[in-house]
Amino acid sequence: MKILLIRHGEVAMKWEKRYTAEEYNEACERYDMADINFLPDLKPQDTGDYERIYVSTLKRSAQTRQQMFPNVPEEMVIQTPLLNEVPMKAFDSSAKIRPRWLYDLRGRVQWWIGGGQTESCAQTRARADALIDLLEEKNENAILITHGFFMGVLISRFKKRKRYEVYRGSTFVIRPLEKIKIIDRQPHCGGCHHNCLLKNAGCMIGQDKARREGI
């Protein structure tokens, strides 16, 4: 199994430098509803040996798929909230005018410590794990069109399983339309419905499942 992560295209919205708490929350909502910039130089791309395309339920992810892969049949595309971006809101609902970077920073700190945001770090990791479980169950080569911050969490959860190699060009910020390839070093042995501890001790999917279930 191999996975191609793609961050959505650049969103057609200009952020202000400073907001009140209410204005920041409204801006986050507008961002989630905004279109991406049209990419006139982007030619339709071939999916190659990738069998499925997964997109988030957010508009910018779906529009990126439509621009990058306009010719794929709709039955090849699956939309799932498991790929949605980690939501953001003001760290203090009564905050007066503050720099946008402060809202971003303190919001992510709240996410990390597990309070004050819509989704906690533990919940995001669980969502990423559920997505990886789904991909392993399907055992397909897949393209995932998702979001920058969630991509970072997802990559870390792939690495935690000790069986995936991650190939990326950048080392810090994930840019719009950046592609990151993830390769399964020890693919599923096939035909055993993941009960591999009894049938094939070399299948890492079966070992992972057995460990979780206490077998």
CATH number at residue 135: 3.40.50
Beta bridge partners of residue 3, listed in sequence order: 142, 182
Q: Which of 93, 116, 100 is closest to 27 using CA atoms?
A: 100
Q: DSSP alpha helices (H): ranges in the chain?
A: 21-33, 59-68, 100-113, 121-138, 148-160, 196-199, 204-212
Q: What single-letter amino acid sits at 163?
A: R
Phi, psi values for residue 146, rounded to 5°:
-140, -150
Q: What's the confidence (pLDDT) of residue 44? A: 87
Q: What's the confidence (pLDDT) of residue 41? A: 78
Phi, psi values for residue 143, rounded to 5°:
-100, 130
Average pLDDT over residues 104-116: 94
Q: Nearest 5 degrees, angle CA 55-CA 39-CA 73?
A: 40
Is 188 a residue whose pLDDT tops 90? no
Q: What's the confidence (pLDDT) of residue 38? A: 84
Beta bridge partners of residue 144, listed in sequence order: 5, 54
Q: Please, what sign has the CA dihedral across residues 75, 1, 87, 68?
A: negative
Q: What is the residue range of 7's domain?
A: 2-184
Contacts of 31 (CB under 8 A, 6+ apart): 11, 13, 15
- Could you tell me the pTM of the whole model? 0.83
Residue 201 falls within a domain, yes or no? Answer: no
Which residue has 């501890």 as its token pair?
197
- What is the chain's mean pLDDT, rounded? 88
Q: Number of folded domains in the chain?
A: 1
Q: What is the spatial distance between Cα 91 and Cα 181, in angstroms, rounded to a whole number?
A: 34
Is 33 a residue whose pLDDT tops 90? yes
Q: What's the confidence (pLDDT) of residue 43? A: 83
Residue 204 falls within a domain, yes or no? Answer: no
Residue 189 falls within a domain, yes or no? Answer: no
Which residue has better confidence, 186 or 21? 21
Q: What is the spatial distance between Cα 205 and Cα 196, in angstroms, rounded to a whole number?
A: 8
Residue 212 falls within a domain, yes or no? Answer: no
Q: What is the spatial distance between Cα 64 and Cα 151, in angstroms, rounded to a whole number?
A: 15
Is 103 a residue whose pLDDT tops 90? yes
Residue 215 falls within a domain, yes or no? Answer: no
